[in-house]
């Protein structure tokens, strides 16, 4: 399975990847971006990939382009259509969560998180994509 | 009498902030690193090491500075990544302590109430010198020290009147 992890912290990108693997997600390739603008570039150049992305995990608070702007622009350009996006962030206020859901996020994980939380919120989304 | 009541209210507010900070730090260390981290009775003077500062803005304003020794910074980085890093000047250490501070402040403010939870956090600013970057107009802050394994660190927290 291929996934895209978006976070301005290289440490957090590694932590998220490790948590996915510990949660039993079989990752064959992990694409990375350090902000929303980079992530859009990754999605644009990945449109012809033989194996499509199955999951996107994104932070919200990032320089250049934040996670919410990324969601809105991705929707506007119709990139990675049908690929679930899960927000992983310390910013967990209700208005922000509602904005992220309205912009297309399918799930929300608050930092700090456990592997069990990652498993509970990510694995069902991957299953729903695979069986769709 | 008014002064006593006001002092009591301020003490109660400080105790509540400390309780939420203790819980936030315990959650971050337990969930992300599988370690126990507990508050110390005494405030420690941290040896030369690293400083991370984060400001919060909105209806709730202030800042948090995390002071930790080089060895504490290295230990948290290794625990977060699940691998050892021998180079004390590895930029991943700066990144890791910035994220540590970000998670602590985020967790702490989310426990305080909806106005506080909605406050926006700045990007963490990490320095390898002990220095304060806080706005001088802010009220007197709270300092607390913590221990994990055989390492210690301190946190300075300040909330401004809005």
The structural domain count of chain A equals: 1
- State mean pLDDT over A110-114: 94
- Print burial letters for A28-38: b (CB count within 10 Å at least 16), e (below 16): eebbbbbbbbb
Query: CA angle, B41 as apex, B46 and B65 as ends, to 5°?
Result: 40
pTM for this prediction: 0.88
Q: Which of B32, B99, B148 is most worth mutating to test chain A (most A CB atoms within 10 A of its CB)?
A: B99
Query: Nearest residue of A to residue B118 by CA position?
Result: A93
Identify the band that residue B11 occupies on the pLDDT scale cut at 50, 70 and 90. Answer: low
pLDDT at residue B136, as a whole number: 47
CA distance B41 to chain A (A): 25
- Measured CA to CA, the distance from residue B94 to residue B107 in angstroms comes to 20
Q: What percent of chain B has pLDDT over 70?
A: 82
Q: Tell me how far apart the alpha carbons of residues B75 and A103 are, in angstroms, rounded to a whole number.
A: 38
CB contact under 8 A, B103 and A111: yes
Residue A43 reports pLDDT greater than 50: yes
DSSP B51-97: EEEEEEESSS-EEEEEEEEHHHHHHHHHHHHTS----TT-HHHHHHH
**Minimum CA–CA partner of A9 in chain B:** B95
Query: In 3-state terms, what secondary structure has residue B36?
Result: coil
Kind plus residue range of the DSSP H or E element containing B155: strand B151-159
pLDDT per residue as tens digits for the range A63-90: 999 999 999 999 999 999 999 999 998 8
Per-residue pLDDT at A107:
93
Q: How far apart are CA A14 and CA A18, in angstroms?
A: 6
Question: Mean per-residue pLDDT for A90-108?
Answer: 88
pLDDT (mean) for B130-142: 57
pLDDT reported for residue A132: 55
Determine the distance in angstroms separating the CA of B4 from the nearest CA of chain A, rounded to an integer.
Answer: 35
* A93 interaction partners in chain B (CB closer than 8 Å): 110, 114, 117-118
Q: Does A47 touch chain B (CB under 8 A)?
A: no
pLDDT at B110 over 90: no
Provide, as residue numbers in chain B, all residues whose Cβ is less than 8 Å from the Cβ of A12.
Answer: 99
- Per-residue pLDDT tens over the stretch A45-59: 999 899 999 999 999
With bands split at pLDDT 50, 70 and 90, how would you rate the model's confidence at B34? very high
Chain B touched by A78 (CB under 8 Å): no
Percent of chain B with pLDDT strictly greater than 90: 48
Interface mutation vs chain B, best among A13, A112, A116, A120, most B CBs within 10 Å? A112
Is 3.40.1550.10 the CATH classification of the domain at B5-161? yes
CB contact under 8 A, A61 and B123: yes
CA angle B78, B80, B81 (to 5 degrees): 65
Residue B23 pLDDT greater than 60, yes or no: yes
Q: Tell me the β-bridge partners of A87.
A: A58, A108
Q: Which domain holds residue A22?
A: 2-131
Q: Do residues B98 and A111 make contact, with C-beta atoms less than 8 angstroms apart?
A: no
Distance CA A11, CA B102 (A): 13
Q: Is the pLDDT of residue B86 over 80?
A: no
* CATH code, domain carrying A58: 3.40.50.2300
Residue-range domain boundaries for chain B: 5-161
* Facing B80 at nearest CB: one of A11, A91, A92: A11
What's the pLDDT score for residue A126? 85
Half-sphere exposure of B146 (CA within 13 A, CB side): 25
Binned at pLDDT 50, 70 and 90, residue B6 comes out as: low
A130 interfaces chain B, CB cutoff of 8 Å: no
CB B36 within 8 A of CB B26: yes
- A9 at B interface, C-beta within 8 A: yes
């Amino acid at each position: 399975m291929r996934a895209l992890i978006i976070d301005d912290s290289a440490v957090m990108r590694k932590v998220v990847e490790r948590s996915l693997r510990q949660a039993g997600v079989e990752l064959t390739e992990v694409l990375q971006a350090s902000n929303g603008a980079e992530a859009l570039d990754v999605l644009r150049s990945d449109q012809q990939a033989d194996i499509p992305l199955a999951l996107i995990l994104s932070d919200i608070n990032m320089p250049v382009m934040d996670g919410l702007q990324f969601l809105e622009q991705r929707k506007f350009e119709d990139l990675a259509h049908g690929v679930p996006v899960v927000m992983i962030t310390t910013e967990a206020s209700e208005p922000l969560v509602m904005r992220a859901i309205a912009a297309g996020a399918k799930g929300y994980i608050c930092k700090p998180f456990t592997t069990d939380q990652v498993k509970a919120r990510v694995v069902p989304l991957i299953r729903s994509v695979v069986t769709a | 009498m008014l002064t006593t009541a006001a002092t009591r209210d301020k003490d109660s507010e400080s105790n509540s902030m400390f309780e939420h900070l203790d819980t936030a730090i315990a959650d971050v260390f337990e969930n992300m690193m599988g370690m126990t981290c507990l508050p110390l009775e005494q405030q420690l003077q941290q040896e030369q090491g690293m400083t991370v500062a984060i400001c919060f803005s909105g209806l709730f304003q202030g800042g948090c500075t995390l002071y930790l020794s080089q060895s504490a910074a290295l230990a948290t980085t290794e625990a977060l990544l699940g691998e050892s890093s021998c180079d004390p000047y590895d930029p991943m250490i700066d990144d890791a302590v910035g994220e540590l501070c970000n998670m602590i402040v985020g967790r702490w403010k989310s426990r305080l109430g909806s106005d506080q939870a909605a406050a926006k956090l700045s990007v963490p600013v990490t320095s390898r010198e002990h220095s304060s970057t806080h706005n001088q107009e802010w009220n007197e802050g709270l300092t607390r020290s913590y221990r994990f394994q055989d390492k210690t660190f301190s946190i300075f927290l300040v909330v401004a009147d809005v």
